[in-house]
Chain A
Amino acid sequence: MADKILNKLYIKVWRQNSPKEKGRFETYEIEDISQGSSFLEMLDILNDKLIRDGKDPIAFDHDCREGICGMCSLYINGRAHGPDREITTCQLHMRKFNEGDTITIEPWRAGSFPVIKDLIVDRTAFEQIQHAGGFVSVNTGGIPDGNAIPIGYDDAEEAMDAASCIGCGACVATCKNSSAMLFVAAKVSQLAKLPQGKVEAKRRARNMVAKMDELGFGGCTNTGACELECPKSISISHIARLNREYLTAKFSE
């Protein structure tokens, strides 16, 4: 079955030339978009049109376009990654939209994610949090036999679930407090569940939370919004684990 063609759409998008500039919304009309095309393809078509018209194309982040790198962001029609569950923006399709719709596109909004240009925000804060402790620095020696350290199935699964976080920042963008707790919880959990990671668990939780606070992210009030908008469905149970890890670390100081 051929995909339906959307004859006309209105794209209301945030334009901002530089981090310092104030920024504003612009609305563009776009015609003949197939519902089978992806959301980013629609933006490519719009940018092509803008360039042909001699205008500045809209800057937006993207890389893999298959939901694994976490680069694409965008707050679309009031929701991180748009109106669908468990997807990144590159996995969003135009069949989620209807003829004549006005689609509002905004960058992630958080003081810790400043806008670089248009829809691109600076997410190096996440890297800084990772650098504060999201690693294993114990000497692991040569390549060990994978079976030499037995890890229970449930622990391995939970660690894998946490490790599926792609660092996209949708959790921060969605959270009413711009809290990075889901991201930090995932990065702490993926190691806390494994024997190699347990060794430095306390230092990790303490330092990563301190860095998160220092960078100006908000605190968690357990609304649970992050989990529902996370493309990888990272569970807020990991936040409970992070709280546990952090509190144990602090009380044993």
Chain B
Amino acid sequence: MSKGSFLSASIGRKFFMSITGLFLITFIIVHMSINLLLIFDDSGDLFNIAANFMATNPLIKVMEPVLALGFLVHIVWSVGITIQNMRARPVGYNKAIQSVNSTWASRNMFILGGLVLVFLGLHLFNFWWKIKIVGDPLLEHITVMQGGIPTEMENAYLLVSTLFKESIVYCLIYIAGGILLGLHVTHGFWSAFQTIGLNNQIWRKRFYVLANIIGWIFAIGFSVIPLYFMIKF
């Protein structure tokens, strides 16, 4: 296989976007499920146990660099695709009405993705940076009963809940982040299957519906967490 040409061919690039995109979606499903534990147990034990499990699980340790690579490939190729697509029309239209033939999200995937990336930077700084690199006094170790055994772990719940309890601005930013990601996925999910070629007249409608459901589950799932802290505390 002539690798060079596949990597830069229009469909080749899209192939990498779709595979990495779907991989990121599976990551998001796991991530969101764990985060939702934040609102089901105000003591924080449930979330801390899950976070501790994720932090110590060897499989997750292996997946961390893979995830980073997934993001990297998705982002680098998205820039390549976007540049190629902008170059393809050097002189634009004076008047173009696109709302009649395509969804807003589908036309603004790079902007949505870019904003998700900005959010991601902030999000990593808020939590990952503190948990993995510099530490934070809020993270002081606590002992949680796990299956009858007292286990020592970091109090990640306190770090997260404090951010949301103390800052409405952060709550709003996190709500926006969830919605932007959701919108990206309302197009991305079905688009990925189309790109891989796993689509036809029948499945097309199903993927469309599924993409909207998954997108909105992400948007709502991530937004209810800051909303919960805003309203309850």
Q: Cβ of B93 and Cβ of A109 under 8 Å apart?
A: yes
Given A78-B93, A212-B10, the answer on whether A239 and B15 have CB atoms closer than 8 Å is no
Interface size on B (CB < 8 Å)? Answer: 47
Q: Which residues of A contact B167 (CB under 8 A)?
A: none
* Cα–Cα, bound, A38→B9 (Å): 42
Q: A148-186 CB contact bits vs B (8 Å, 1 = yes)?
A: 000000000000000000000000001011110100000
Q: Which of the segments A39-47, A50-58, A92-100, A245-253 contacts the partner chain? A: A245-253
Q: Cβ of B87 and Cβ of A111 under 8 Å apart?
A: yes
Q: Cβ of A174 and Cβ of B101 under 8 Å apart?
A: yes
Q: Cβ of A209 and Cβ of B102 under 8 Å apart?
A: no
Interface residues of A in 101-120 (CB under 8 A from B): 104, 106, 109-112
* Cα–Cα, bound, A111→B200 (Å): 31
Q: Which residues of B contact A242 (CB under 8 A)?
A: 11, 197
Asked if B160 is at the interface of the complex by the 8 Å CB criterion, the answer is: no
Q: B52-92 CB contact bits vs A (8 Å, 1 = yes)?
A: 00000000000000000000000000000100111111111
Q: Cβ of B197 and Cβ of A110 under 8 Å apart?
A: no
Q: Which residues of B contact A225 (CB under 8 A)?
A: 98, 101-102
Q: Cβ of B101 and Cβ of A229 under 8 Å apart?
A: yes
Q: Using a Cβ cutoff of 8 Å, how many contacts connect chains A and B?
A: 145
Q: Which residues of B contact A77 (CB under 8 A)?
A: 95, 97
Q: A55-97 CB contact bits vs B (8 Å, 1 = yes)?
A: 0000000000000000000010111000000000000000000
Q: Which residues of A contact B101 (CB under 8 A)?
A: 79, 174, 223-225, 228-229
Asked if A194 is at the interface of the complex by the 8 Å CB criterion, the answer is: no
Q: Cβ of A223 and Cβ of B9 under 8 Å apart?
A: no
Q: Cβ of B1 and Cβ of A251 under 8 Å apart?
A: yes
Q: Which residue of A lies closest to B193 (CB)?
A: A240
Q: Which of the segments A29-37, A127-135, A138-146, A213-221 contacts the partner chain? A: A213-221
Q: Cβ of A240 and Cβ of B200 under 8 Å apart?
A: yes
Q: Which residues of A contact B106 (CB under 8 A)?
A: 221-224
Q: Cβ of B89 and Cβ of A237 under 8 Å apart?
A: no
* Cα–Cα, bound, A209→B14 (Å): 13
Report A252 CB to chain B, min CB distance, Å.
Answer: 8
Q: Which of B6, B15, B88, B102 has the most CB of A within 10 A?
A: B88
Q: Which residues of B contact A14 (CB under 8 A)?
A: 94
Asked if B96 is at the interface of the complex by the 8 Å CB criterion, the answer is: yes
* Cα–Cα, bound, A243→B100 (Å): 26
Q: Cβ of A244 and Cβ of B197 under 8 Å apart?
A: yes
Q: Which residues of B contact A218 (CB under 8 A)?
A: 10, 84-89
Asked if A210 is at the interface of the complex by the 8 Å CB criterion, the answer is: yes
Report B107 CB to chain A, min CB distance, Å.
Answer: 6
Q: Cβ of B191 and Cβ of A222 under 8 Å apart?
A: yes
Report B26 CB to chain A, min CB distance, Å.
Answer: 20
Q: Cβ of B88 and Cβ of A78 under 8 Å apart?
A: no
Asked if A8 is at the interface of the complex by the 8 Å CB criterion, the answer is: no
- Tell me which of B1, B89, B98 contacts A109 (CB under 8 A): B89
Q: B185-217 CB contact bits vs A (8 Å, 1 = yes)?
A: 001001101111111110010000000000000
Report B62 CB to chain A, min CB distance, Å.
Answer: 26
Q: Cβ of B10 and Cβ of A243 under 8 Å apart?
A: no
Report A17 CB to chain B, min CB distance, Å.
Answer: 15
* Cα–Cα, bound, A75→B94 (Å): 10
Given A75-B93, A237-B204, the answer on whether A219 and B85 have CB atoms closer than 8 Å is yes
- Tell me which of B10, B95, B198, B199 contacts A106 (CB under 8 A): B95
Q: B164-198 CB contact bits vs A (8 Å, 1 = yes)?
A: 00000000000000000000000100110111111
Asked if A235 is at the interface of the complex by the 8 Å CB criterion, the answer is: yes
Q: Which residues of B contact A246 (CB under 8 A)?
A: 11
Q: Which of B9, B15, B84, B102 has the most CB of A within 10 A?
A: B102
Q: Which residue of A lies closest to B91 (CB)?
A: A109
* Cα–Cα, bound, A78→B93 (Å): 8
Q: Cβ of A250 and Cβ of B6 under 8 Å apart?
A: yes
Q: Which residue of A lies closest to B9 (CB)?
A: A213
* Cα–Cα, bound, A110→B12 (Å): 22
Q: What would be 8 A-B contacts, judged by CB atoms less than 8 Å apart?
A: A77-B97, A109-B91, A112-B88, A176-B98, A177-B89, A210-B9, A221-B191, A242-B197
B residues bordering A, Cβ < 8 Å?
1-2, 5-6, 9-15, 81, 84-98, 100-103, 106-107, 109, 187, 190-191, 193-201, 204
**Inter-chain pairs besides A177-B89, A243-B15, 5 sampled, C-beta below 8 Å:** A79-B96, A210-B5, A242-B197, A244-B198, A250-B9
